[in-house]
Amino acid sequence: MASVEGAVSRRLLPLGTGLFSMNLAWVSWAIFGYLDTASLALVWSLFSLGIALIVLSASESYGSRLTTWLSYLSLALAIAAALSIVGYFHPVRITDEVIIDRYAAIALLHREDPYRPGVIGSYLQSSSYPTFWFTPTLDGGFVTAFIYPGLVPLYFLLEVALHLNPLVLYEVPVAVSFTAYYLYMRKNGIALEERYDLMLFSIALFAELAGFAFYFSSATIWIMFVILSLSSSERPSISGIFSGLAASFNQIPALLVPFLAVFHFRENGRKGLIRYLALSIVSFSVINGPFLAMSPGSFIHAMEHSLSQGAIGVGFGVSELSFLALASIAPRVFTIALFASYSMLLTAYALWYERLRLSFVVFPAIVMFLNYRVLPEYVLVWSVPAAMLALGRKPLRAHRVAGTLRKKALAASIAVLILVVAVPLGLHSQEAYEKSQDLKVISIRSYSDPYNVTGYITEMDVSVLYTGTQDTYVGFRIIPYGETMNANGLIWTPDPMKGAADTRGALLRPGYNNVTIFPQSYVDLLPDGRPFRLFVTDNTSISFLNSGGLSVSGVTPVSDPELAYPTYNSKDPYPGWLAHSNGTWVFHYHPGYLEAVSEGPGNLDLQTRVNGTEASWTLSFIISVNSTAPVSVELIDSQGSYVNASQGQVEDSSMQLSVEVTPGLGGNVSLRVSAVSGCSLDIRPAAYGG
């Protein structure tokens, strides 16, 4: 009976994987269609593997190594298909970290020091990246400084010099990490291909890491060096080299170095400790020494700036108490708590090494939970090395060095010493923070939707009392009640057209200030009727006002007719607008107009929904065409119910097209373009209204 159950269990993996692959192939084909060659290749591969696995599951080869490897290959392709589907419905957005890192590499290529103030900002001045990709600061600006160690610009030189897809720089480290993980397991007597349960667990573990790479998280790169360091723990020199490289990419993995120093001392003796520390220092110095020599002050300031960059608080850490104004706690208190808890954990690890021997990999996640900004990947990414050490653990090689009573007494003494330093620092920071509270949101005096974005509020007039003695710059942030719409909340500003290089927000003078603010970008639009909390902040103060929701009466005929809030998504480029095309069309977004570029012949249909209103109204666009051949452009309705719809055929000139909508009618308005060769069009709103 047991043998029958075992056979069924062994047949289940290829059978289930095969059925899943075949169904996922069908779903992928339905989503990506006929003309996406790469997706079709993925579909064919999934379907073929599915058929093969179902056949093998019913044959006498169901338990063979070939069946096992085909099952895992099918699962890997299924993960790739799933990520592609996620990307289709939720397009990848490059982060500000990627942009700034890339500009740091470009600056280095131009023989500029990326750490010098203003260098990265000068590149951002000429960029057209959307502001919602950047991290907002408390005073209403954006983080634009380069604050990471020297391996980052060197690593991104690969993309800049070789013109690589930036996603490659993030996904390749995941593959390297999985290889190191697999070899470490095999070295410790665990063959993953023979353990279905562990292989499935490992694939799920690395699927999460691949997901972080899909969203351009640098954690996937530096965690690779951490995994390589841990997997070579029997060779302290190699482990030290990789630890130095990890710390040369990001400050966070540097938290692991003291724990690894204790580990190597207890596992490999004094010589092992010296080799580890020496090679860590050499590795770090070789990478960062030239940058330090170029500008010592700028480099050191950049390394420290990650703790004091003035960015808004985000995430699910305990700092929510502060940045949501649930309690009056100075942001610096969390930094002090972070270092105090880190010191206590390091002390506990050194004293109770036998018990905590392989647990130290989780300690950085605990510490980062106390940071003012808790990005999920910086906490969750430690699950991979933690699982590697837990599953592939080796027998204890260390010997006891102190009695239990001595350990407890020493730990208590060190804890008291840490608290003696940390508590006064925290109290001093808290006292200074409370004295600096000089902002108060009085009221929302008025609100409206001047940009006519259907279903949203796009303007507020806010009254703020500022009791300071010097002018200050502030930022406005809205946190809606309910589900998290955006990790940063909704960022509002007096100037919705400003770029990321504009590093300050609204200017307040002592006394009462009335400030008119707008959503910074389309992700910051406030839904009509949604309760929210409005925050105003500067670098030292915070105030908030609760609202039960704002509602604008009336029907908006067309959503965002001024093209003011681009989504940077080629399928729905503006709220309420859809784009359908054949050929190769690329959109470039500018304040108040859209530039559509085609590399060859093709058609473009830019369509919006029209709501019925009580009065007639006109929608007009000025179309500027740059082409070597005639281009047909028409502004029409899809149902033939509007009047004065216009069209034309132009070459290197401009035209104005209008459509007049009669009262009470609804439907669609489409701007249709037909080009027989490459062309460029600037689409500008010219008139809108009754």
Which 3 state secondary structure label does DSSP give 654?
Answer: strand
Report residue 7's pLDDT band, with 50, 70 and 90 as the boundaries: low
Q: Do 249 and 152 form a contact (C-beta atoms < 8 A)?
A: yes
Which CATH number goes with the domain that contains 583? 2.60.120.260
Single-letter code of the amino acid located at 429: S
For residues 74 and 123, state if they share a domain: no
The answer to the question of residue 529 being in a domain is yes
Residues 336 and 219 placed together within one structural domain of the fold? yes
pLDDT exceeds cutoff 80 at 86: no
Higher pLDDT pick, 66 / 93: 66
The answer to whether residue 30 scores a pLDDT higher than 50 is: yes
Structure tokens at 164: 């690589």
Give the Cα separation of 587 and 566 in Å (integer): 10
pLDDT at 201: 84
Q: Pick from 89, 121, 150: which residue ends a domain?
A: 89
Q: Which of 320, 321, 318, 240 has the alpha carbon at shortest distance from 284?
A: 240
Count, residues in the chain: 690
Residue 1 has pLDDT above 50, yes or no: no
Task: Look at residue 224 in the predicted model and tell me its pLDDT.
Answer: 95
- Which has more pLDDT, 626 or 687? 626
Binned at pLDDT 50, 70 and 90, residue 166 comes out as confident
Quick one: 622 and 674 in the same domain? yes
Answer yes or no: do 451 and 362 share one domain: no
Q: Is residue 293 part of a domain?
A: yes
pLDDT for 644? 47
pLDDT tens per residue, range 615-658: 677 778 888 888 877 788 887 775 555 544 555 555 557 777 77
Q: Write out the residue range of the structural domain in which residue 520 sits.
A: 439-547
Least reliable range by pLDDT among 94-108, 321-335, 394-408, 643-657: 394-408
Confidence of residue 8 (pLDDT cuts 50, 70, 90): low
Return d(Cα 245, Cα 259) in angstroms, integer.
16
Burial of 577: CB neighbours in 10 Å, binned 0-12, 13-18, 19+: buried
Residue type, 440: K
Q: What is the mean pLDDT of the chain?
A: 83
Across 25-34, 637-646, 655-664, least confident range? 637-646
Q: What's the average model confidence in pLDDT over 345-353? A: 89
Q: H or E stretch including 562? A: none
Q: Are residues 616 and 516 in the same domain?
A: no
The two tokens of residue 656 are: 């104005």
Alpha-carbon dihedral angle through residues 79, 80, 82, 84, given to the nearest 10 degrees: 160
Enter the tokens of residue 193: 């291909």
| Residue pair 387/358 in contact by the 8 Å Cβ criterion | no
Confidence of residue 470 (pLDDT cuts 50, 70, 90): very high
Most confident of 90-99, 114-123, 480-489: 114-123
278 pLDDT more than 70? yes
Distance CA 367, CA 419 (A): 16
Q: Which residue has the higher pLDDT, 188 or 617?
A: 188
Question: How much of the chain exceeds pLDDT 90, in percent?
Answer: 26
Q: Does residue 552 belong to any structural domain of this protein?
A: no
State whether 203 and 81 are in the same domain. no
Q: What is the pLDDT of residue 81?
A: 77
Is 247 within a domain?
A: yes
To the nearest 10 degrees (0 to 180), the angle between helices 331-351 and 404-435 is 170
Token readout for 470 is 């010097």
Phi, psi for residue 120 in degrees, rounded to 5: -70, -40
CA distance 209 to 380: 9
Pairing of strands 472-480, 490-493: antiparallel
Which of 323-360 are b and which e, b meaning 16 or more Cβ less than 10 Å from the residue's Cβ? bebeeebbbbbbbbbbbbbbbbbbbbbbbbbeebbbbb
Q: Say if 38 falls within a structural domain.
A: yes
Q: Same domain for 80 and 151?
A: no
Last residue of a domain, one of 404, 421, 448: 404
Prediction pTM value: 0.83
Contact between 618 and 658 (Cβ < 8 Å): yes
Give the total number of structural domains in the chain: 4
Residues 198 and 323 in one domain: yes
Q: Which two tokens stand for residue 535?
A: 């925050």
Q: Is 679 a domain residue?
A: yes
pLDDT of residue 537: 92
pLDDT at 123: 84
In whole angstroms, give the CA distance from residue 491 to residue 474: 12
Contact 381, 209 (CB under 8 A): yes
Closest-CA residue to 669 (of 554, 561, 593, 522): 561
Asked if 102 and 78 sit in the same domain, the reply is: no
Angle at 383 between CA 381 and CA 386, to 5 degrees: 130
Q: Is the domain of 360 the same as that of 242? A: yes
| Chosen domain end from 498, 531, 547 | 547
* Spatial distance between the Cα atoms of 552 and 151, rounded to a whole number of angstroms: 51
Shared domain for 309 and 190, answered yes or no, is yes
Take residue 339 and report the two structure tokens written for it.
Answer: 């270092």
Distance CA 329, CA 319 (A): 8
Contact 680, 595 (CB under 8 A): yes
122 and 251 co-located in one domain: yes
In angstroms, the CA 500 to CA 502 distance is 5
Q: Is residue 426 part of a domain?
A: no
Residue 141: inside a domain, yes or no? yes
Going by pLDDT thresholds of 50, 70 and 90, the confidence category of residue 143 is confident
Token digits of residue 162: 């070789």
Contact 508, 143 (CB under 8 A): no
CATH number of the domain enclosing 453: 2.60.40
Residues forming a β-bridge with 476: 492, 536
Q: Is the pLDDT of residue 340 over 50?
A: yes
| AA letter at 240 | G
DSSP structure string for 203-245: HHHHHHHHHHHHTT-THHHHHHHHHHHHHTTTSHHHHHHHHHH
Q: What is the rounded (10 degree) CA torsion for 234, 235, 237, 238?
A: -100
